[in-house]
Amino acid sequence: AQTVTQSQPEMSVQEAETVTLSCTYDTSESNYYLFWYKQPPSRQMILVIRQEAYKQQNATENRFSVNFQKAAKSFSLKISDSQLGDTAMYFCAFYSTGAGSYQLTFGKGTKLSVIP
Amino acid sequence: SAVISQKPSRDICQRGTSLTIQCQVDSQVTMMFWYRQQPGQSLTLIATANQGSEATYESGFVIDKFPISRPNLTFSTLTVSNMSPEDSSIYLCSVEQGYNEQFFGPGTRLTVL
C-alpha cells in the first residue's frame, strides 16, 4: 500500500517570499503520478501541479514548482512570490493504476498561511 | 477541466435519517469517485463509480451504509444511510480526466445531530 507523509502540519510565509512544502511517499510501484492540491477555506479542491514519475524534469506552473527526487521518494512544492490567495491547506497526493486501483492517496496536509 | 457541481452544498440532519448527495458533471466521464473528509483531516476514498457497473468500495466502507448510483456518464449520487454524528464530514465527488488527473466538486458539508 502507498503512504504519503507531509511532516509540516502548519507553515507561514510573508507575502512575496518563497516557501517550500515537504512531501515524502512510499511505494513499490515504478509508474505513478504525484500531485499537489490546494484547498482554500471555500473547501474546493484545486489541482496545483502534477509530476509523472518517469519524467526527470521537475514540473512548473507559474509560481509553483516541484522538486521531485525519485530515489529519495520526495516531492516538495515551492511557491514563489507568495500571495494572500495562496493561504490554504495543501495536500500531496499519490496516484498509481497498479493492480487496477485508481485511488488517489493523500497526505494529511499542510496548512499554509500567507502573512501580509 | 470538467465543471462539477454538488447538491446540497451543506445540510444538517438528524441521526438515523439518510441523505442523498448529487454530483453533476458538464461532460461525459468514465470514472467518478466519492471521498470523505472528516473535520480537520485529509481525504479518504469511499468508492469508485463507473457507469453501468456496481461501485467498488474501499476497505471500511460498505454498500449498505453508502449506496451509490451511476445512471449515466454525467451524474452520480451517494447516499449516507442511517446517519450518526460520526458521519459528519465533507463529502466530495471527483472525476478523472486527462492524464490520470482528478478534478473535484465543491463538496457537501454534512452535520449530523
Q: State whether residue B34 sits within 8 Å of chain A by CB.
A: no
Alpha-carbon span A37 to A91, nearest angstrom = 5
Residues of B in contact with A47 (CB under 8 A): 1, 101-103
B41 vs A43, higher pLDDT: B41
pLDDT, tens digit, 9 for 90 and up, residues A20-52 = 999 999 988 888 999 999 999 888 899 999 999
Cβ atoms of B37 and B90 closer than 8 Å: yes
pLDDT, tens digit, 9 for 90 and up, residues A80-95 = 999 999 999 999 999 9
Residue A67, beta-bridge partner list: A76
Q: State whether residue B42 sits within 8 Å of chain A by CB.
A: yes
Average pLDDT over residues B12-41: 95
Closest CA to A25 of A45, A53, A6: A6
A42 vs B14, higher pLDDT: B14
Alpha-carbon span B45 to B94, nearest angstrom = 10
Residue A73, beta-bridge partner list: none
**Residues B99, A45: C-beta atoms closer than 8 Å:** no
